[in-house]
Structure formats: C-alpha cells, structure tokens
Amino acid sequence: MAEISAQPFSFPFRKQEIALVVIDMQRDFAEPGGFGASLGNDVGRITKIVPEVKRLIQGFRDAGLPVIHTMECHRPDLSDLPPAKRNRGKPSLRIGDEGPMGRILIAGEPGTAILPELAPIEGEVVIEKPGKGAFYATELSDVLKEKSIKQLVFAGVTTEVCVQTTMREANDRGYECLLCVQATESYFPEFKEAAFAMIRAQGAIVGWTADIDDILETISHA
Ligand code: C5J
C-alpha cells in the first residue's frame, strides 16, 4: 500500500478514499478590515501560506482527487449566530457588522469570500459553516459519505481553531486525518506548534502531520 511520510508514523494512502479539505481561506481572516484583523491579529501571517495552499490544491486537482472548501459564515439575518458567539471578546467589528469589505463573516459578502487565488473551481464542494468545526450544522458528513471518503488531508486556517476543531470532529467520526504543515497557519506561532504536537501525540490520537512535498510526492503517483 502507498504511504505518505508523516508524523508520528507513515500515513496509509488510499486513492479512492481521500480528499483535501481547505478550511476557511477567506478574505475575512487574511486581509486588513476583516474579522481576523478586528480581533487585533496580524493577518499577514495568513497571506504568507497562500502559495503553499495553492500548490497543495493543484496537486490534488492534478491527481484527480476531490477538493472540498469550507467558509466560516452566517446567514444575513444572523439566525445561525448564537449571541454567545457574536458577543464574545472585544473585537472592533463584530460578526454581522458592516466593515470595509461588507458585513463581517456574512454569506455572500465580499470579505467572506475565499481568497481569489484559492477559489473553488467547478465541481468542488463548498461547505458554509456557522461553527468552528466543519461538521457542526453542515452537510459535510453527507457529502463525504456520498463520495465514499474516509481519509481527509487538511489545510487552511487557523490551525488551532477551525482546523483542529474540524480534525477532532472528523477523527471522532472515524476519518483518518492528516494535516499539511506548510499549508496551515495561526495568528500565534506557538499555538500552531502546540496544535501539531497535540494532534500527533499518543500515537496519532487526533491524526497525522506531514510536509507538503511528501504529500504531493505520494499523490502524484496515485
Ligand atoms: C477563527 C477560524 N479563528 N477559521 N476561525 O475564528 O479559525
């Protein structure tokens, strides 16, 4: 069986069962004036990984493997936004407020869109999610079942929030999860490293981590 060189040990690669999930590569997390910046974060950290995320997506497309994108966003009437989420912290702009790129994290607004360099192409699934995890209140489980997917490679932002939450949700649902080290980022470098360590500890208790070139190398021979 083909393997991807990974930590804490090789990831068993099954071509018919694998998909890439790109988490929340949205303008709201990567550009000034968006949600990430409103929380006081350095969004420049996120834009730096765009070329690597693009390379990973292209590798999956070239290998004929599915790519799934997620977007953290809410309905314009905020009916899927619990007050506990809207009121959390002291951002300069709250979810639903009008910002320089439209209403913060609201479906259909310019700032909520996926970065143009990473835009989904025809046929790729886009999951709109109101939570940090991509399984909560979405159709993701049904999509994966319908495609007989059992292995998920993860990219996107932020490592310790939406990426790790989704990996944990997926792990509990029986998916084998692999996080691409170069294609994920956090506003906090120490949290990114801690997330990698937590994921692969105790014999891959949540999943695996791997370098992008090792992933691309294996899938290119698929
Ligand atoms: C956050 C995310 N950090 N996509 N969202 O609020 O990680």
Crossing angle, helix 212-220 and helix 50-62, to 10 degrees?
10
Where is 184: in which H helix or E strand? strand 176-185
Q: How far is CA 186 from the centre of its chain?
A: 11
Is any ligand 1 atom within 6 A of the Cβ of residue 158? Answer: yes
Which residues participate in catalysis according to the annotation? 24, 129, 162
pLDDT at 1 over 90: no
- The Cβ-side half-sphere exposure at 160, using a 13 Å CA radius, reads 13
User: Percent of the chain scored above 90 by pLDDT?
Assistant: 99
pLDDT confidence of residue 187: 98
User: Percent of the chain scored above 70 by pLDDT?
Assistant: 100
Q: Which of 124, 112, 117, 144 is nearest to 51 (CA)?
A: 117
3-state DSSP call for residue 109?
coil
Q: What is the pLDDT of residues 186-218, one digit of tens each?
A: 999 999 999 999 999 999 999 999 999 999 999
Q: Which atom of ligand 1 is nearest to the CA of 156?
A: 4
Q: Which of 111, 115, 110 is nearest to 32 (CA)?
A: 111
Q: What is the pLDDT of residues 17-75, one digit of tens each?
A: 999 999 999 999 999 999 999 999 999 999 999 999 999 999 999 999 999 999 999 99
Is any ligand 1 atom within 6 A of the Cβ of residue 161? Answer: yes
Residues 96, 72: contact at Cβ < 8 Å? no
Is the CA virtual torsion 26, 127, 63, 204 positive or negative? positive
Quote the ligand 1 centre to 143 CA distance (angstroms). 22
Residues 138, 45: contact at Cβ < 8 Å? no
Is any ligand 1 atom within 6 A of the Cβ of residue 73? Answer: no
**Number of residues assigned to the chain:** 222
Quote the ligand 1 centre to 221 CA distance (angstroms). 33
Is any ligand 1 atom within 6 A of the Cβ of residue 128? Answer: no
Mean pLDDT of the chain: 98
Quote the ligand 1 centre to 21 CA distance (angstroms). 15
Tokens of 188: 């906090």
pLDDT class of 222 with cuts at 50, 70, 90: confident
Q: What is the pLDDT of residues 64-74, one digit of tens each?
A: 999 999 999 99
Quote the ligand 1 centre to 158 CA distance (angstroms). 5
Mutate to test the pocket of ligand 1, among 21, 27, 157, 165 (most ligand atoms within 8 A of CB): 157
Q: What is the CA radius of gyration of the chain?
A: 17
Longest dimension (CA), the chain: 52
